[in-house]
Amino acid sequence: MFPEIRELANEDPLSVREAITQQLQKGGHATLTETLHDLHAQYDDLRKLEDSVLELRDLFLYLGALVDEQGRLLDNIELNVNNTEEYTGAAVVHLERAKEHKESYDSKRWWFWLISWGTVIVILIIVGICVGPALMACCGGGKDK
């Protein structure tokens, strides 16, 4: 990955002191300042890398939670679709039964009116037959005597 970071991370403080001591022996104060500056820069880079890795970890945790939540929402949607399918099937059965009842009602209503009017006509005929001769005799029946 980053071998120089691994090397720096594996160094112990004693090896850093030895590097500083060697720099002092070789070139003096100027190179020591540069070495110290380089060490600080590498340390800052390591801190930035650590922060980035932690931020990436948090991002993955957030994405995992988001995927889990989306999975639950999809399961809920699937359950609602299945329930809707069942309710729709039941509604179709109810509508078919309602249609049958309406057709039966219409047929019964037609027969009711037919029988009612037939009864009225039969009663009027019977009344006409029974009352007709009596009315004719009472009122003169249209013949002059």
Round to whole Å and give the CA distance between 48 and 42. Answer: 10
Pair 5, 46: CB distance under 8 Å: yes
pTM more than 0.95: no
Residues 119-142: pLDDT tens digits? 999 999 998 888 877 777 787 655
Return the percent helix, strand and coil in the chain, to nearest 5: 90, 0, 10
d(CA 136, CA 130): 11
CA distance 80 to 90: 15
Q: Which tens digit of pLDDT belongs to each residue from 80-125?
A: 999 999 999 999 999 999 999 999 999 999 999 999 999 999 999 9
Domain ranges of the chain: 3-112
CA 136, CA 145: separation in Å to the nearest integer? 13
| Structure token digits, residue 100 | 């049958």
